[in-house]
Chain A
Amino acid sequence: MSEPASIKPASFPPWAAADATNFRNAMHFVMGMGMPVDAAAQVAFHWHAVTSTTAAKDSLGVPFSPTATVTTTPSVALRVPYFVEWIEVAGTTTRLGVVVPARVRVWLLDDDYDDVKTADYLVIDGEKYLRHLEEPSYAIFDVGVHCITFIAENER
């Protein structure tokens, strides 16, 4: 089945005196205003370390031979401009017995989103949050906006 054509209206109208590049720069500035001074307190996007082996292995990449050579490539963390909302643990239980954990919602502009959209988790102030879900994306004319939710790994 082929995708229907886009029905999105045209980009920034002439009367708006703006364009996508200037808008992104302005948004990055505003995002920066709200970031903590301490770098460790800023959001950092992380990827899991990648392991590889030439020996026979399963779907997780773990070799069947306990003496097989495994190469581990550590990942590099990345910081990009963002807005963040922290949602406290709900303190209630669902009928399945699962407590709704603390979450962070991170808003990203399109070019920054492309750099971190595959991140496995993020770290804020030493707390680790695992990727949970991505909301449907939207835009402000030519500038795409994305929102990803991460849930806290450890709940006290």
Chain B
Amino acid sequence: MRHRSRHLHATFLDLTISGLTTLGWITSPVIFGTTPVTIVDYQPDVRGVAIAPNTVAVTLGDAPADSDEELGGQSGGLRSGFYPIFFDAYMVEESLSLAMCDDIRQLFDLKIGQVVDHATGTPDPQVQYQVEEMFGPEEPASLGSAEQFKKNWRVMRAGVRVYYQT
């Protein structure tokens, strides 16, 4: 799969939108009586966009080198790549941020699936993901631009392994 990280990112964005819609965060009336949540594929402060709660940002972290999953993986065998995926929850109240993080854990913990090739809109059976670990809710490090949201800003971090055939 060409541009694998982009397709993985978009796959998890789509899963987040569909999952949180099912859990009642997107369409009014929203659970807890709060305002509908906006889901974006970038960190607002990095892009210079004002952070408007309620918002969930789905972004990719730094990926290490791919590794062989079997002998001869680099020659027509199985390989894998590891991707951290961050879910930043900016909510109007801290308790809502915690609830959002818990729901994100429920959506993705130990889940497996196929990465969708967004150029064609179809899942690629040759490229599959497995959520190996979910960390959080975590309180992010202090950053000047997000200082005002620190108390309501929580992060979930998923460790996702993508398996593919060379």
Contacts and interface: CB of A to CB of B under 8 A. Distances in A.
B118 A64 contact: yes
Interface string B30-68: 000000000011100000000000000000000000000
Interface string A52-66: 000110111001111
A50 interface: no
A90 interface: no
Nearest to B120: A65
A66 B3 contact: yes
Contacts of A55: 119
A68 B121 CA distance: 14
Nearest to A56: B118
A67 B69 CA distance: 32
A59 B118 CA distance: 13
B76 interface: no
A63 B120 CA distance: 11
A64 B10 contact: yes
A96 interface: yes
B111 interface: no
A96 B144 contact: yes
A65 B2 CA distance: 9
Range of interface residues on B (Cβ < 8 Å) = 10 to 19
Interface string A63-94: 11110100000000000000000000000001
A55 B118 CA distance: 10
Contacts of B6: 58, 64
A19 B121 CA distance: 60
B7 interface: yes
A64 B40 contact: no
Contacts of A96: 143-144
A58 B7 contact: no
Contact of B121 (A56, A60, A63, A66): A56
B59 to A, nearest CB: 11
Nearest to A67: B119
B144 A66 contact: no
Nearest to A57: B118
B69 to A, nearest CB: 26
Given A64-B3, A96-B144, A56 B40 contact: no
B38 to A, nearest CB: 11
Given A64-B10, A64-B119, A96-B144, A58 B41 contact: yes
7 contacts: A56-B118, A58-B6, A58-B10, A58-B41, A59-B41, A60-B42, A64-B117
